[in-house]
Structure formats: structure tokens, C-alpha cells
Structure 1
């Protein structure tokens, strides 16, 4: 009974959150995920005490996390980010990883290597899904700045997942690398299949069942997701890696085999994800958020502004140094702010860290709290730095140089 009440409350919050985002957008553009987490905190044990998690809610939350990472993988357009831009993005992230692991081990406070890895990888992530709508609304997504931001953000989502698979498997580094290579080979085989021309009937079945109860394409997407999750789990890798790979493969399949139907299929998958599973994950994150530990006035409260600063230094400094030379100083500053915006993967990584017993709830709350602040202020500062607004268009001239 308690689980049913909690699920009803979660879905009520999921409905209320976009309404609040719509109302506040007149004065301030607040990302939807902020409302979902904050409202989850409000109904959770530390405030009103109305909602409590259990086995059923936890399973649905894990499905939401998998769907979130799947959609992140689907967003990445490797055909648009290549050459020097991709190379600089990879090197910037590797430099961030070195800085992040160093900071993580220092902040692990005697917690060991694994704890340092959880903290360090969280510091290297970028909330691509949060900044893409703002870039789209400001008219920057299709330009040079948007391409570079997409590259930096894509690597900032892909890199931490790879790092966790390598560093947190519990195996020796050489064996971890071998297992990861084996997974990459199997994923490459799936990509090869995805890119091969499909028979005409394949696209016809997708089109004909798109608005029927058969929903062939949606069922195929679900199969690819669970198959890659199962493969990753069978090989002892983090399931997030499987979800991410499934998103990349799905994009190749749909755009290659049924380009005319791909957007419609994606809208259906997004409806399942963003309409049910993903908001459930974020609301549950809020319910499990240890607000009491964060506000107790101890180390955890001090960690929040420190983590926020580290997002800028760890992720932002390498981006500033390795950004393409053709970007002006204002654009480079905005790129740093966008790149240092981090929340969804921070939530995912800290959730896994708490489940594995490597992070305590207070430290996880400090990291998630810093991510929430970053999503709230960094993109807005970036748009202001470029002389733009989230609604699109220039605010003033001379935005390309500083």
C-alpha cells in the first residue's frame, strides 16, 4: 500500500514539475530536472515524510536511469563531431579525468581508490541533455559554437561511463581493458549490423506499425536496450555502458533503415522515457536525497560549494586551454560554463556510489546539490556571456570577441 501511495505521489510530482517550469520561465529559465529533484526532496522523509522508496520503486528508478543514459547515447551525433574538434574534446576530457581523479582521491578522506574514482568521474561529466535545449532555443546549436559544445558535451557524457567501466570493475587494469575491448568489439559488430542496408520490408514494417498496436520499431528499440544491458551485465561491466551503447546503435539503425520514420519513433521512445521513467528516476533521487546530512553544518555542507568550484576547474580549465583556436574569448568562456554544467550523470554516479557503499549519503547529496546549482546558473551565465537569451537571438553586438 505504501509503495502505491509513493508511486502516485511521484507521478503527481512528475506532472507538477513541468507546470512550475512553464510558469517560472517568464522570469527565469529553470531546468525541469531541478523541479523534479526539489519536489522529490519535499515529499521525501527529510521534509514532509509522505514518500518512501521500496523494491518496486527502486526497480522503476533503475529503469529510468537506464533510459536516461540510453537517450543520452542517442543524442550523440558522431558524424557531426570529428577531426580536430573531436580530438581536442577527447584530450580535454582526459586532462579533466586526471585532475578529477587527483581531486577525488584527496577528497576521499581515507575512503580508498574506488571512492576517489566515483568523485573524480562525477567531476568530469557534462549535462549535454540539459544544455542542448538552451543551445537550440538560442539558435547556437547549428553553428560553429554549437558543434564544439556538442563535441565537448558528448565526450563529457561518454568518457565518465568508460572510466567507471575501466576503474571500478574490481579486476586488474589489464583484464578490465580486455573485457572493455571485447565489449567494444561486440558493440562494433552491432554497429556494423546497424549500418548495413536493410531489406525494404524493414522500413515498411516500421512505417505500417507506427500507429498501430504492433509498434514494431518501439519494441525493437526496447529489445536493443535490454540486450545491451544484459551483455554489459554478463561481462561484468556497468549497465550504464550498455545503455549508452544501445542509444548509439539505435540511432544508427533508425536513421539508416527508416530515416522517414526515425523522428516519429524517437518521439514515442522519448514519451516513454521523459514521460514516465526518467522523471521517476529524478524524483526518487530527490526522495533519497539526504537533506538532513547536508544541512547539518558539517563537512558535507562545505563540500557543496567546493564541488561547484571543482566542476569549473576540473572540467572547465582543460576546455579553456584546448578549445579550438578560432573561438573568441567570450565563446571560450561560455564553452567552459556549458562544459562544467553537470547533473544527470552526477546523479547516476552518486547513486551507484551509495549503492556500492563507497559514498555516504551526505557526500552524494553535496555532489548532487552542486550539480543542481551548476545546471541552474552556469548555462544562464554562458548565454549572457555570449550576449544571447534562452529564447533565441542576440542581446548585443560584439559577442564573438572579448
Structure 2
């Protein structure tokens, strides 16, 4: 099929996936991304062979991943996650990194480089994937939501830092210097974002919010592009720039137009979740190496092993370091949500295969485990949050008998 035909197929799946998700959610609340990925696998080269990714589609997919991480950064409310909760989240990730590196090196037969790729992937939390699930179930706000944001943000940001330090190919000293430069420039942007903005800035946002000007949305795209460019210029992973862009943009817009920040976020989410993010997940499915997973017995065995390790490496420290004021079911749900991984696993394994450190089967097993975690862990967590007898639909828990 032609490349333009592939894009039509991708956008068709982007429309079909929500219909399937909302239809099946009457009985089982399957996250939307599962349908996007599985339908991508279906049209990919290992099944029907209808879709073939070119440079343009791959570029849109990378932009979709950047937008996903940007929105994860934008959602963080520092006034709710700072203090003891953030400290616990930080220590939970540091413990997970130590466990992950140790287990990764052991699984790779003592090879440090391969162990770093595996171990770093095991410490990630798919905050960008979990956020839509929490938002749709009305669990994003309140105490549980703020704790999840803290642990999820560290689980998203920590592996990106680890990638910059351990997977960049530079010596640790050079990587640390570049990270320090990036941190200093980001801190300057944060300082600028927190300063009062001139009246004309807020005025232009207000006047163009419902016109073709859309100054606020264009400003968001500029901030994202600028931070992506900065991280790339410093030789750092662009996901670090995307996350930082989300943090800075939130400070700027919430400070300038607090009354319109929610509406601006809705517009940006419409652009992200309506167009770019689905392309990333569908292309992930298309590029998933199903043949490598099924042909090799070791790869197929590794998939459940990696799935269990997501719970042990990432979930174990979360369970033990979760705030004590959370109930037992909420701690279980937090552990499951925090162990959900996919986008960064895809990014890390892609780098590992390109660098010829990870084998295709190992990468497919890690990504496959991430896909299963996205399917299984949030479902169980939502059931724990909903309580006995509840049924979770995309718009929250309802009792039997109601429908969407």
C-alpha cells in the first residue's frame, strides 16, 4: 500500500479505536491505547501487511510521543505533589533504579550495557498513558490523583534523566555537564514563567481564544518546539525537552490567564489526543516485531518475566513508600498504575536495538510486557478504586444497569 494509504489507514484506526473502546467498556474498561496498538499490529507487516511506515509518518509518530510527554508535564500540579509525597516518589524511583540495574545485568548474563537498557526500562511509569485513564474515570483529582501524579511524574522524568546519563554514549562527566546546562536554562525559563506577564500578553490570549489567531495554542507549540530544539542541540533525549516544556508552559499560562487555562488545555489535548498521540500508539503497533516475539522461545518466555518485573522493580518500592494516609486498596491501585509502562519502554528498546545492544526478541518481549501492563494493570487498579460491585466506564464508575 502507498504511504498516503498508510496514513489513511492510521487515521481510520484512530477513529475506530474509540468506538471499540466505548462499546466494549459496557462490560470491560479496556484502555483506548490497547485498541490503537493492537489494530496497528493487525495492519502491520507481520499480520496483514497493509501498512508501511515512511519518514513522514515516523516523524508524526515521534511528535505524538513528544506531545504525550508534554501533556504529562503540563498536568503536574507542584503545589499538590511537593513535600513528603514528592520525596517518597523520588526514593521509590531510586530504589527501583538500583533493583532494575541489578536485575537487568543479571538477565543479560553480566553485560552492563544491555543491563542498563533493560533496567532503565523496568523503572518507567507510563504517566502519559495512565493520565487519560485516570481522567476518564474521574480519579485524577483529589488525594489519590495528586499522589499518583507525584509517583508517575518521577517515574516518567527519572528514566529520561537516566537515559541522558547512561544511554547517551558519552562519558558520565560530559553528560552531567550537559544536563546541568539544560537544567539551568530550564530553571531560567521557569523563573520567567512565574513572573507576572504584561497586560498585552493576557489580552492577546483572551481575544484570540475563539478566533483563527489561537495565540495560546501557537504559544504552546512554540514552547514545545523550543524545548525540543534545546534538548537536541545539547545532545539530550528530546523527551526531556518535551517534559520540561509542559512544566514551563503550565506556569506561564496559569500565571497569565488562570481563568482560561482549563480551556487552553482542552484545545491542546484535542490536538494531542485527537491527532498526534493516536498516531504514536498505532505506529508502535505497526512497528511491533511480532515475528521476533513468536519465533524465538526465549523471547516469549521473557514477556511474562518482564511483566512480573515491572511489578517487582517499579511496583515494589511504590507499595512500601506510598503515603501512609492512603487506604490499602488505594496503595494497591497506586502500585498497579505506577507499574504500567509503555512509551518510554518503546523509546529505550528502540535505542537499544539501533545500538545493537538489545536483540529484536528481547526488545519485543519488553514492549509486549509493556502492552500487557497497559491492558491489565489499569483495569485491576480501576476495579480496586471503584469498589466491589462497581463497573468502570470511560466516564467513571457506574452501577449495573446504566449504559453510555
Contact 1:311 1:340 in 2 (8 A): yes
**Which shifted more, 123-132 or 172-181?**
123-132
**210 and 163 in structure 1: CA distance in 2 versus 1, 3 angstrom threshold:** same
Which position in structure 1 is the counterpart of 2:55?
55
Alignment of 1:252-291 (within 5 A): 252-291=251-290
**164 and 143 in structure 1: CA distance in 2 versus 1, 3 angstrom threshold:** same
**266 and 385 in structure 1: CA distance in 2 versus 1, 3 angstrom threshold:** closer
Number of residue pairs matched?
Answer: 394
Q: Deviations over 1:263-310 (max 9, x none)?
A: 222222222211111111111111111111111241110111000000
**Which shifted more, 211-220 or 232-241?**
211-220
**34 and 140 in structure 1: CA distance in 2 versus 1, 3 angstrom threshold:** closer
Which position in structure 2 is the counterpart of 1:399?
none
Which position in structure 1 is the counterpart of 2:315?
316
Contact 2:30 2:379 in 1 (8 A): no
Which position in structure 1 is the counterpart of 2:46?
46
**Which shifted more, 338-347 or 299-308?**
338-347
- Give 3-state SS (helix, strand or coil) of 2:170's partner: coil
Q: Which runs of 4+ in 1 moved over 6 A?
A: none
Which position in structure 1 is the counterpart of 2:402?
none
Alignment of 1:1-400 (within 5 A): 2-109=2-109, 112-136=111-135, 138-386=137-385, 388=387, 389=390, 390-391=392-393, 392=396
- Give 3-state SS (helix, strand or coil) of 1:53's partner: coil
1:95 deviation in Å? 0.2
Contact 1:289 1:361 in 2 (8 A): no
Rounded to whole Å, the distance in 2 between the matches of 1:247 and 1:393 is: 29
1:199 deviation in Å? 0.7
Contact 2:45 2:286 in 1 (8 A): yes
1:98 deviation in Å? 0.7
1:201 deviation in Å? 0.9
1:134 deviation in Å? 4.1
Q: TM-score, normalised by structure 2?
A: 0.92
- Root-mean-square deviation over aligned CA pairs: 1.9
Contact 1:117 1:164 in 2 (8 A): no
Which position in structure 2 is the counterpart of 1:400?
none
- Give 3-state SS (helix, strand or coil) of 1:125's partner: coil
**305 and 37 in structure 1: CA distance in 2 versus 1, 3 angstrom threshold:** same
Unaligned runs of 5+ in 1: 396-402
- Give 3-state SS (helix, strand or coil) of 1:251's partner: helix
1:107 deviation in Å? 2.5
Unaligned runs of 5+ in 2: 400-404
